[in-house]
Amino acid sequence: MANEKSQNVQDVFLNHVRKSKTPVTVFLVNGVKLQGVITWFDNFSVLLRRDGHTQLVYKHAISTVMPGAPIQLFDATKAEGAAGGSGATLSLGRAGDADRDAE
């Protein structure tokens, strides 16, 4: 267990949308909305590509990253053995999905 490298949810999320090329909407703390595909990220910044142009966005300026389609980050069967894992699946949907589910 000490040998297992744990990843934080931010890295898991960003890596998933990067690898799957899922379009995202990035909301900045000043209210600006950016859309595109995350092509790269590190501890301090994210590269967002759209229409052939790449933007470097600093993480300290980001408020929210919303995927354009529902994503599933963790497999319930793998999460059961993880420390603190309840076996639950973490899935994220689009913003409008929660409103429709409530109706």
> Using one digit for the tens of pLDDT, what is the confidence trace for 25-79?
999 999 999 999 999 999 999 999 999 999 999 999 999 999 999 998 877 666 5
Output the DSSP codes for the chain: -TTSPP--HHHHHHHHHHHHT-EEEEEETTS-EEEEEEEEE-SSEEEEEETTEEEEEEGGGEEEEEESS-EE-S-HHHHTTSTT--S---EE--HHHHHHHH-
The CA R_g of the chain, rounded to the nearest whole Å, is 15
Q: Domain 9-102 has what CATH class?
A: mainly beta
The torsion of the CA quartet 81, 22, 66, 84, rounded to 10 degrees, works out to: 0
Task: Provide the pLDDT for residue 1.
Answer: 47
Q: Please list the residues that pair with 18 across neighbouring strands.
A: none
pLDDT over 90 at 22, yes or no: yes
The predicted structure's pLDDT at residue 5: 67
Is 90 a residue whose pLDDT tops 80? no
Of the two residues 86 and 56, the one the predictor is more confident about is 56
